[in-house]
Structure 1
């Protein structure tokens, strides 16, 4: 990790405007993620460079927060990397301000999108202009450690649960695990997940956004955050202080929680924990099973900086990382289910990869279409939501205070 961080620091100031090395075209590529993702990207880039010996790809990566802090600084100075991993939360913010290069001129020639589902490509478009290519999909799932359930004497659900039933299940797990070493909690606080709140709103027949305005009111957010209060009070949720101590380690992976709601592709990451046991994917809670609120979200997208001096070479890398069967084999389902049919053809899913694929396929009757790119400032609203949720977990503010602060932030962001 120290070596990888050193590489990040060394390459962070590089730009595509530097002189080409040894007659090769140099492009910069950056992403967020853990060491496992970095190893996979490095392997994929090595294959790309072998197939394109005239292109040298300089790589760097960072954790989620530091990644976007760096991109914000670069965007302000017009010095974004040639190719960057993009998230749907930031597509509008970067794409609507001219910081991302339009990719339509490369589509059909350098970038093949015929391999992608028709409903997915619009998630990377701003007013009909393509500024990001979705490489994979993911949706939220309830993950359960079935070995730990057995150890605690709690039955694994066989049918979809309502929200109250899920909370009761988490309470049973925490009660049974209270005397263990280590202590086992039901879950981390799921009300801190902004996208899960969006799914819950869909279950209520509402949306996060209605055009450029919010599609819900203060009472909805209060109802959502109030779910967590008794679960913190009785020890069902892992205490936030303990979660902070585990920074960089997944509570489910080390067996200190028995269930968590998270993105289905995280199954691979969680399973690499020291006490992950056997993990199973279940549908998230819903009070009406026919109103799941679920959708396929682009788990990752790729964009090209508008300031690139090498648009064609950058487009080549985007196409390769999206469509190459070899890249599909390298990543499996760790980035999510590959959006490209040609990438999926590169490997035969088995084990955890097959479990993720089958889970998403099982949800097809309940899924809505993929969400459009969120409004500009979505990333800010998500960060504020998470921060206020954490303060609620610590008990440093009331639900009413948190709701008031978030809506004040939303009003400011949406008005700008």
Structure 2
């Protein structure tokens, strides 16, 4: 069994990369700059004001380096972004380059909306993968096609509000705890303090999928022909959701309604010191530190060291190119520059997450905040225990995810028993997959 030790230093692990030099923006943008033809690219993304401002600054620098390229940008909030993208998709007017999310990439890619980047994304290619984790690139493919290039990564973690945990007498052996230990910790914290032991992230599929990986299963898998199917036993489905139902019933975890009504990070019970734990993605660590004055720590989720290697790197987001783009090579050149160049990295920082490019991470490390360094170190330190990335969600996943969360709410409120939930979800989820494949 592989073991995990939080002893690795980000800088130390990256020293070997320093000798390789850094990306040169002028070289990286040679494709777009090679001709005199005026090229206009459209580029869209979602995010907040910080992302909007820094991305526009990076775009302006790229235009300076490539005078023949004009980039028209459009940015939105998360909800508005997908509404606009759906409208553009229907009219055949998707942006040349667009930010893409894991839960939507199948929907757009398998319906011939996105270009296959496989020929671009290779070592020394138009989108250079020399310093990119190969498993993340391969894990982003649907079959043999790569519909988005992974630009940043994260992983599941257990955020601990050490201020809330203090004086409870509850201790956690993060190296060795399992699901039963986690259940006991959550229950004990509530019993001793009256507070929540843990707050979930508002999407029960995240917690359920990780639990299944600790048991050597997964929510879905694909056969050799690319057809998806559910990949878990009813026994494990029942064990997980009976546990969740019990913790909500005793008050050790909040009801789904409480979580759904949280409108900002500083309103979350975890940030308010009303919960000791939160199982979530590593990129949330910085946001919750900004949202609270409590002391927080970034720790291993339960079962991380078991023989099934349940932890995995997750593609935080992608850049995709529209299949209808007239300038695919120029779009690929722009993606290469904004992902791989140190010039772009100096402007964008880690706002989109920790880069998938190890050379960029090493370059940025000197100016990272302590929280950013902790996050980057965590992602480096788990390298020996991570398993294969989860498969890209299948077509219909959004509907399946909604079914799971809606039915879980009924179970949490005692309106449905877990056995009925297990049976009904399997039938409906299989119907969704059958309708899409």
Q: Which range, TM-score by smaller chain?
A: 0.7 to 0.9
The 5 A counterparts of 1:3-22 are none
**Offset at 1:304?**
1.0
On the 8 A contact 1:143/1:262 being kept in 2, the answer is yes
Give the TM-score normalised by structure 2.
0.79
**Offset at 1:94?**
1.8
The match for 1:310 among 327, 334, 357 is 327
**Offset at 1:351?**
0.7
**Offset at 1:109?**
4.7
On the 8 A contact 1:333/1:356 being kept in 2, the answer is no
The 5 A counterparts of 1:12-51 are 25-51=39-65
2:236 is equivalent to residue 217 of structure 1: no
Cross-structure match for 2:27: none
Cross-structure match for 1:367: 386
Cross-structure match for 2:430: 411
Cross-structure match for 1:12: none
Query: Aligned partners of 1:308, 1:38: CA distance in 2, in Å?
Result: 23
Check 1:310–1:242 CA distance in 2 against 1; reply closer, same or farther (3 A cut). Answer: same
Query: Aligned partners of 2:82, 2:322: CA distance in 1, in Å?
Result: 14
**Offset at 1:332?**
4.2
Cross-structure match for 1:301: 318
2:68 is equivalent to residue 57 of structure 1: no
2:202 is equivalent to residue 148 of structure 1: no
Cross-structure match for 2:282: 264
**Offset at 1:307?**
2.0
On the 8 A contact 2:46/2:77 being kept in 1, the answer is yes
2:260 is equivalent to residue 240 of structure 1: no
Query: Aligned partners of 1:366, 1:227: CA distance in 2, in Å?
Result: 26
2:106 is equivalent to residue 95 of structure 1: no
- How many residues align? The count is 387
Check 1:235–1:376 CA distance in 2 against 1; reply closer, same or farther (3 A cut). Answer: same
The match for 2:138 among 122, 137, 145 is 122
* Residues 117-139 of structure 1 deviation map (CA, whole Å, 9 limit, x = unaligned): 22221233333233211112211
SS in 2 for 1:346: helix
* Residues 216-247 of structure 1 deviation map (CA, whole Å, 9 limit, x = unaligned): 23343222211111111111112334333322
Give the TM-score normalised by structure 1.
0.83
Cross-structure match for 1:112: 128
* Residues 303-326 of structure 1 deviation map (CA, whole Å, 9 limit, x = unaligned): 011122332332233212321223
On the 8 A contact 2:174/2:302 being kept in 1, the answer is no
**Offset at 1:142?**
0.5
2:174 is equivalent to residue 163 of structure 1: no
Cross-structure match for 1:8: none
**Offset at 1:36?**
4.2
On the 8 A contact 2:45/2:98 being kept in 1, the answer is yes
On the 8 A contact 2:200/2:279 being kept in 1, the answer is no
**Offset at 1:157?**
4.3
On the 8 A contact 2:44/2:97 being kept in 1, the answer is yes
Unpaired runs of at least 5, structure 2: 1-36, 223-227
The match for 2:204 among 157, 179, 193 is 193
SS in 2 for 1:227: helix
Cross-structure match for 1:20: none
Q: Which has the higher contact order (CA 8 A, sep 6+)?
A: 2
Check 1:380–1:323 CA distance in 2 against 1; reply closer, same or farther (3 A cut). Answer: farther
On the 8 A contact 1:328/1:345 being kept in 2, the answer is no
Cross-structure match for 1:231: 247
Check 1:205–1:245 CA distance in 2 against 1; reply closer, same or farther (3 A cut). Answer: closer
On the 8 A contact 2:135/2:389 being kept in 1, the answer is yes
**Offset at 1:402?**
3.0
